[in-house]
Amino acid sequence: MKLIDFLKLAVKGLFANKLRTFLTMLGIIIGVGSVIMLMSVGAGVQTFVNQQFELIGANNIFIIPGQMGEMAMMGPGGGSGGSSTGQATSQGGSLATMSTSKLKEKHVKEIKRLSSDILEATGTIEVPAKASYKNEAIFASLSGIDENFFAASNLAVEVGRPIEEKDILNKRKVAVIGPEVGEELFPGIDPLGKKIIVANVSFEVVGITEKRGTGGIGGNIDRVIYVPFPIVQSLTEKEGLQAILVKVSDREKIPETITLIKDYLSSELEEDEFSVIDQTKILETVNAILTILTYALTAIAAISLLVGGVGIMNIMFVSVVERTKEIGIRKAVGATSGNIRSQFLTEAVILSLFGGILGVGFGVLGAEIASRWLTTTVTPSSIILSLGVCSLIGIIFGVAPAARAAKLDPVEALRYE
C-alpha cells in the first residue's frame, strides 16, 4: 500500500466519528495553544526588555550597593525602577529606604572626575510613596535626582522643564512627574503649575516625562515622581544612594571606565559593598532569568500535551476493539500486519497533528488577545516545535494500539461480535 492509501483510510476512519475525534484532539489543542501563548509572552517580554535597555542607552554603567546577586535590577528611575507596588508611606508620611547603601554623593562627584570619557554621573534614591491632588490619590515611586539625571538616563521631559541645578541648591519643592501619574492625578487637567502632596510635602509640578511604559527591568517608569535629591534624602534620613548611573562617551570605552570606577571605589569601600555593571551584563542576566521562567512555564503547559497523548492512545485502543472485524476482513483479503500497523499509526499521527494545527491557531489568537495587555511575540520556532512535538506524541502514543491491531489473528477477528 502507498502512503496516500494509508492517509485516505486514516482520514475516513477518523471522520466516521467526528465528535469523538474532536474531543480526542481537545487535549492536544489546549496543550499546544497554552505552549504557544506562554512562549509568545516570554519572547515578547524579552523583546520589550531589550527595547527598554536601548532607550536607556547602550553606553551606560550602573553602580549598585552590595553584590550583583543580592540586588534587584534597577531601571533608570533608581533602585526600584519606578515600581508602583511595595510598602506605602506610613500615616505620618515618613519614608524608608530599602537598603543600607554605602554609596554617597561624594562618590558621584569623584567618579565624574575620573575620566574625560565620563559624560555624566548621577545618583538616585527611590522609595514608594503616596501622591495626592485634591480628591485624587495614587501610589507611585518618589525618586530623588540631581540635575544630571535626565541627560544620563536618556529620559526626556516632554512637557515643561526638568529638575535644574538651582532646584537642587535651593532645595526647591518642585517635581517632574511620569505621564501615568499625570493621567491619574489630573484627569483632563494640565498638571503644570499644580501642587501635589507626597509624603506630607507639597511639590509644584514643573514637567512631565515622555511615555516609556512598564520597564522590563524594574517596574513602571511612567509612574515615577522626580524631585530634587536633597528633599528625598531628608525625608528618608539616609545618606546612601540606591544607584549611581554613569554615561560614557562611547560604548568601547566602557571596559576601561569600569576598571577606573572599580579601582576608585575599592579604595573607598569594601569589595562586597558595591557592584559595577554595564547594560550587557544586566541584559544577559535578565534574559537568562526570563528564558528559564519561560521554559519552566512552557514545561508545565506541556503536561497537557501528555494528557492529550494518553487520550489519543485510549481512543485508538477503543477504535481497535470496535474495528476488530474490519481488521479481520482486511487481513483475510491480503493486508499484512505491517499494513494494519501503519494504518492505525497514521490515524494517531493525523489525530495529533490536526489537533496541533488547531492548537497553533488557538495559541496565536490567544497571544493576539493578550497583546492588548502584555507584550507578545509569536515566534516561528515555537510553532515548529509544537507541531513537531504533536507528531512525536502521535507516534509514541499510537504505537501500542497499532501493534495490538497488527497482532490480531484474522480468524479470531472475523468471529468477533
* pLDDT at 172 (0 to 100): 94
* pLDDT at 13 (0 to 100): 62
* pLDDT at 6 (0 to 100): 56
Low-confidence ranges of the chain (pLDDT < 50): 70-76, 78-98, 215-218
- Integer Rg of the chain from CA: 31
* pLDDT at 93 (0 to 100): 41
Residue among 188, 189, 84 nearest 131 (CA): 84
Specify the DSSP class assigned to residue 134: T
* pLDDT at 157 (0 to 100): 93
**What's the length of the chain?**
417
H or E segment and range at residue 414: helix 410-415
* pLDDT at 149 (0 to 100): 92
Beta strand extents in 134-223 (DSSP E only): 136-145, 157-160, 174-177, 195-198, 201-209, 214-215, 219-220
Is the entire prediction scored with pTM above 0.85? no
Q: How far is CA 309 from CA 6, 351, 389, 392, in A?
A: 21, 10, 10, 10
Q: How far is it, in rounded angstroms, from Cα 312 to Cα 29?
A: 12
Q: How far is CA 329 from CA 3, 295, 336, in A?
A: 21, 48, 11
* pLDDT at 254 (0 to 100): 87
Q: How far is it, in rounded angstroms, from Cα 79 to Cα 160?
A: 25
* pLDDT at 158 (0 to 100): 92
Q: How far is it, in rounded angstroms, from Cα 171 to Cα 104?
A: 18
Q: How far is it, in rounded angstroms, from Cα 399 to Cα 352?
A: 13
Specify the DSSP class assigned to residue 58: T
* pLDDT at 7 (0 to 100): 65
Q: What is the pLDDT of residues 360-377, one digit of tens each?
A: 888 888 888 888 877 788
